[in-house]
Chains A and B, each alone.
Chain A
């Protein structure tokens, strides 16, 4: 257990946290504004990664591939919203949950048909390969730093959008009091479509930039989705600030847990505890604050 190792794990935790934020932000926005629970959110993460695997190869450029992948995710999201999601807005949560759950089957199977079941790989862009020396004795992969930085940039952009634009104001108002916003004559249909597409774009983006780090395979979206749910619960549904704080917390707890718990509790008990760490965190938060850390006012 060296200081260097701890720093490395902390940075990993930060990176995971930022990725979780991108996933959770979309979920919490869609829930806050549309009162809609979307289990197929993880599918956009997966599809983003798959699109990137193909488009980067086709275009030869990581950046172009990234941009095209996110754009494709947005288009797909708009289509899915118009065809299926829209019909579930008025339904109760059970129907929404099951409806989007059914979509997961569909997306997973289509992805398997197109790309097969073998894992795909997104090559690390040359510029981001190798590692860099941060402090004495700490070598850290450039790619991971880039992923974290990229994620934070997008988070910043999201913050600017939500806090400093009129559209963002509508989003915040919608999260706080949906009916009021509808009553103000805002084109709710457009706002909903936009929000849904924004969520998908964030998820797809997260999928693309983590692509070089992990294998791209059918079903990678679902584990991310579950943890994103944990983040949303801890942070408070409808709150972006809550999602950010909770995401970093969860990312750190998960990473540090997997690193420290086996060391403290041995390899029989350690890994099991590490798997449970973030859920124990969630349980503890619920005991203290059943509505999450920063619950948005509900409309």
Chain B
């Protein structure tokens, strides 16, 4: 539990972000929308990594499946968010079920490599598919429509995404404290013990994997809408790695950590890339430093805790 002061600070930051549309600057509105989308993605991965102890390096697979569902339905003239977004969630959940069922038979390094490999497989399929523009990806004619709401308007889209983010955050915070969440945390702490207590840990991990994948699919659909574009890069392991770094940056094992990390990562990326063309050469070692020193991430810093 973060200290009261930290809670107020975070709430203030959130309010500040929510007020950004008031500035009218489209650039910043888009930036913060992007932060919210990645906050959803990072939170979904945190369920696996921070709470179940499953280091998945293939989470991008489900982001891509969500985004390409939007593109696929768009190509067939289906543009209603009420249809497309649930479809994206379903497609990602199905992918997670298939990949998870296989990958969860392994653990440790095997699991990391297998999730990476499966996601990359989807990347190559996407790159190779002429139907979806191959390497260039698919442009969407317009964002999905949410009933009467025209999401092509930046401010409207911003608040829809923000609302979804808050809903996801709230839902996840309930899930991790529920009986199901307790089983996941138990598995992370001592899986062997959980098995000896009568829990079918494989099945619980699979459910968590599918849940996280479904949320990532939603995030992917929102990302495709944000950019009006679905690219194979959304399947790429670089995205998977970025999401993991966000979680470490923000702090594992706390629900607020993932969104904090996402925000910090994106802001840092923006600042550095505007300073120099070769910002990656700085970003890389900087991330390495973060990993060597992380001690619970930004969230732990705020809360005054020291993990590790």
A interface residues, Cβ below 8 angstroms from B: 31, 37, 84, 87-88, 93-95, 97-99, 101-110, 112-113, 222, 226, 229-230, 232-233, 237, 271-272, 275-276, 279, 282-283, 286-287, 290-291
User: Given A237-B109, A275-B125, A276-B125, does the pair A282, B114 have CB atoms closer than 8 Å?
Assistant: yes
Do B117 and A98 touch across chains, with their CB atoms under 8 A apart?
A: no
The 10 closest A-B pairs by CB, nearest first: A106-B284, A105-B284, A109-B280, A102-B287, A109-B281, A279-B121, A275-B124, A102-B288, A101-B241, A229-B113
Q: Give the A-B pair count, Cβ closer than 8 A.
A: 114
Do A290 and B110 touch across chains, with their CB atoms under 8 A apart?
A: yes
- Distance between B241 CB and nearest chain A CB, rounded to angstroms: 4
* B237: interface (CB < 8 Å): yes
Instruction: Using CB atoms, name the residue of chain B closest to A237.
Output: B109
Do B292 and A94 touch across chains, with their CB atoms under 8 A apart?
A: no
- Distance between B147 CB and nearest chain A CB, rounded to angstroms: 35
Do B118 and A279 touch across chains, with their CB atoms under 8 A apart?
A: yes
Instruction: Using CB atoms, name the residue of chain A closest to B244.
Output: A98
Total contacting residues, chain B, CB less than 8 A:
40
- Distance between A257 CB and nearest chain B CB, rounded to angstroms: 12
* B285: interface (CB < 8 Å): yes
Instruction: Using CB atoms, name the residue of chain A closest to B105.
Output: A290
Do A108 and B280 touch across chains, with their CB atoms under 8 A apart?
A: yes
User: Given A93-B109, A229-B116, A290-B110, does the pair A99, B55 have CB atoms closer than 8 Å?
Assistant: no
Do B284 and A98 touch across chains, with their CB atoms under 8 A apart?
A: no
Do A102 and B108 touch across chains, with their CB atoms under 8 A apart?
A: no
What's the Cα separation between A87 and B285 when bound, in Å? 13
Known: A31-B109, A279-B121. 15 other contacts (CB 8 A): A93-B108, A97-B244, A98-B244, A105-B287, A109-B278, A109-B284, A110-B281, A113-B281, A229-B113, A229-B116, A233-B113, A272-B125, A272-B128, A279-B117, A290-B106
Instruction: Using CB atoms, name the residue of chain A closest to B245.
Output: A98
- Distance between B190 CB and nearest chain A CB, rounded to angstroms: 15
* B141: interface (CB < 8 Å): no
User: Given A102-B291, A226-B117, does the pair A97, B283 have CB atoms closer than 8 Å?
Assistant: no
What's the Cα separation between A88 and B288 when bound, in Å? 10
Pick the residue among A99, A222, A233, A282 that contacts B288 (CB under 8 A).
Answer: A99
Residues on the A chain within 8 Å of B127, using CB? 275
Instruction: Using CB atoms, name the residue of chain A closest to B120.
Output: A226
What's the Cα separation between A48 and B280 when bound, in Å? 21
* B265: interface (CB < 8 Å): no
What's the Cα separation between A272 and B130 when bound, in Å? 10
Residues on the B chain within 8 Å of A282, using CB? 114, 117
Q: List 28 A-B contacts (CB under 8 A).
A: A37-B109, A88-B292, A93-B109, A95-B248, A97-B244, A98-B291, A99-B291, A101-B244, A102-B283, A102-B284, A102-B287, A103-B284, A103-B288, A105-B281, A105-B287, A106-B284, A109-B280, A113-B281, A226-B237, A233-B113, A272-B125, A272-B128, A275-B127, A276-B124, A279-B118, A283-B118, A286-B105, A290-B110
Do B106 and A286 touch across chains, with their CB atoms under 8 A apart?
A: yes
